[in-house]
Structure 1
Amino acid sequence: MAVQTVATPTVDLGPAAALSCRECGHRVPLGPVFACEECFGPLEIAYDFSAYDTEKLRARIESGPANIWRYAPLLPVPTDVADKPNLNPGWTPLVKADRLAAELGVTGGLFVKDDSGNPTHSFKDRVVAQALEAARAFGFTTLSCSSTGNLAGAVGAAAARAGLRSCVFIPHDLEQGKVVMAAVYGGELVGIEGNYDDVNRFCSELIGDPAGEGWGFVNVNLRPYYAEGSKTLAYEICEQLGWRLPDQLVVPIASGSQLTKIDKGLKELIALGLVEDRPYKIFGAQAEGCSPVSAAYKAGHDVVRPQKPDTIAKSLAIGNPADGPYVLDIARRTGGAVEDVTDPQIVDAIKLLARTEGIFAETAGGVTVGVTRKLIESGALDPSLTTVVLNTGDGLKTLDAVAGTGLTATIRPNLDSFREAGLA
Structure 2
Amino acid sequence: MRRKGLASMAVQTVASTSPTDSPTDSPAGSSGSAEPSLGAAVALSCRECGTRTALGPHFVCLECFGPLEVAYELPAGDPAGLRERIEAGPASMWRYAPLLPVPADVAAKPNLNPGFTPLVQADRLAAELGVTGGLYVKDDSGNPTHSFKDRPVAIALEAARAFGLTTLSCSSTGNLAGAVGAAASRAGLRSCVFIPDGLEQSKVVMAAVYGGDLVAIDGTYDDVNRFCSELIGDPLGEGWGFTNVNLRPFYAEGSKTLAYEICEQLGWRLPDQIVIPVASGCQLVKIDKGLRELIALGLVEEKPYRIFAAQAEGCAPVSRAFKDGSDVRPVKRPDTIAKSLAIGDPADGPYVIDICKRTGGAVDDVDDAQIVDSIRLLARTEGVFAETAGGVTLGVTRKLIASGALDPALSTVVLNTGDGLKTLDAVAPTARPSAVIAPSLAAFRDAGLA
Q: TM-score range by the shorter chain?
A: over 0.9
Query: Which runs of at least 4 in structure 1 moved beyond 4 Å after TM superposition?
Result: 1-5
Classify the secondary structure of the residue corresponding to 1:345.
Answer: helix
Contact 2:132 2:410 in 1 (8 A): yes
Classify the secondary structure of the residue corresponding to 2:57.
Answer: coil
Corresponding position: 1:329 with 2:354:
yes
TM-score scaled by length of structure 2? 0.93
Q: What is aligned with 1:306?
A: 330
Q: Residues 3 and 267 (structure 1 numbering): CA distance in 2 closer, same or farther, change over 3 Å? A: farther
Number of residue equivalences? 423
Corresponding position: 1:285 with 2:310:
yes
Mapped to 2, the partners of 1:103 and 1:3 lie a distance apart of 57
Mapped to 1, the partners of 2:323 and 2:42 lie a distance apart of 38
1:332-411 map, 5 Å:
332-404=357-429, 405-411=431-437
Classify the secondary structure of the residue corresponding to 2:133.
Answer: coil
Mapped to 2, the partners of 1:129 and 1:8 lie a distance apart of 24
Instruction: Tell me the amino acid that sits aligned with residue 409 of structure 1.
Output: A
Q: What is aligned with 2:21?
A: none
Give CA deviations for 1:312-337 in whole Å, capped at 9, x if unaligned: 00000000000000000000000000
Q: What is aligned with 1:76?
A: 101
Deviation at 1:2, TM superposition (A): 8.3
Contact 1:4 1:208 in 2 (8 A): no
Mapped to 2, the partners of 1:215 and 1:268 lie a distance apart of 31
**Superposition CA RMSD, Å:** 1.1
Classify the secondary structure of the residue corresponding to 1:156.
Answer: helix
Give CA deviations for 1:37-77 in whole Å, capped at 9, x if unaligned: 00000000011125552111111000000000000000000
Contact 1:9 1:138 in 2 (8 A): no
Corresponding position: 1:422 with 2:448:
yes
Instruction: Tell me the amino acid that sits aligned with residue 306 of structure 1.
Output: P
Classify the secondary structure of the residue corresponding to 2:95.
Answer: helix
Q: Residues 271 and 355 (structure 1 numbering): CA distance in 2 closer, same or farther, change over 3 Å? A: same
Classify the secondary structure of the residue corresponding to 2:255.
Answer: helix
Q: 1:168 aligns with which of 180, 193, 200?
A: 193
Contact 1:147 1:196 in 2 (8 A): yes
Corresponding position: 1:32 with 2:57:
yes
Give CA deviations for 1:394-418 in whole Å, capped at 9, x if unaligned: 0000000012211111111111101
Give CA deviations for 1:233-282 in whole Å, capped at 9, x if unaligned: 00000000000000000000000000000000000000000000000000
Contact 2:94 2:113 in 1 (8 A): yes
Instruction: Tell me the amino acid that sits aligned with residue 300 of structure 2.
Output: V
Instruction: Tell me the amino acid that sits aligned with residue 57 of structure 2.
Output: P
Mapped to 1, the partners of 2:119 and 2:83 lie a distance apart of 19
Classify the secondary structure of the residue corresponding to 2:215.
Answer: strand
1:69-218 map, 5 Å:
69-218=94-243
Unmatched runs of 5 consecutive residues or more in structure 2: 1-25
Deviation at 1:9, TM superposition (A): 2.5
TM-score scaled by length of structure 1? 0.98
User: Relative to structure 2, which stretch is displaced further, 4-13 or 176-185?
Assistant: 4-13
Instruction: Tell me the amino acid that sits aligned with residue 435 of structure 2.
Output: A
Deviation at 1:7, TM superposition (A): 2.5
Deviation at 1:376, TM superposition (A): 0.1
Classify the secondary structure of the residue corresponding to 1:211.
Answer: helix
Contact 1:86 1:161 in 2 (8 A): yes
Give CA deviations for 1:136-161 in whole Å, capped at 9, x if unaligned: 00000000000000000000000000
Give CA deviations for 1:15-41 in whole Å, capped at 9, x if unaligned: 001100001011111110000000000
Corresponding position: 1:412 with 2:438:
yes
Deviation at 1:300, TM superposition (A): 1.3
1:266-281 map, 5 Å:
266-281=291-306
Mapped to 2, the partners of 1:8 and 1:265 lie a distance apart of 30
Mapped to 2, the partners of 1:349 and 1:75 lie a distance apart of 34
Classify the secondary structure of the residue corresponding to 1:403.
Answer: helix
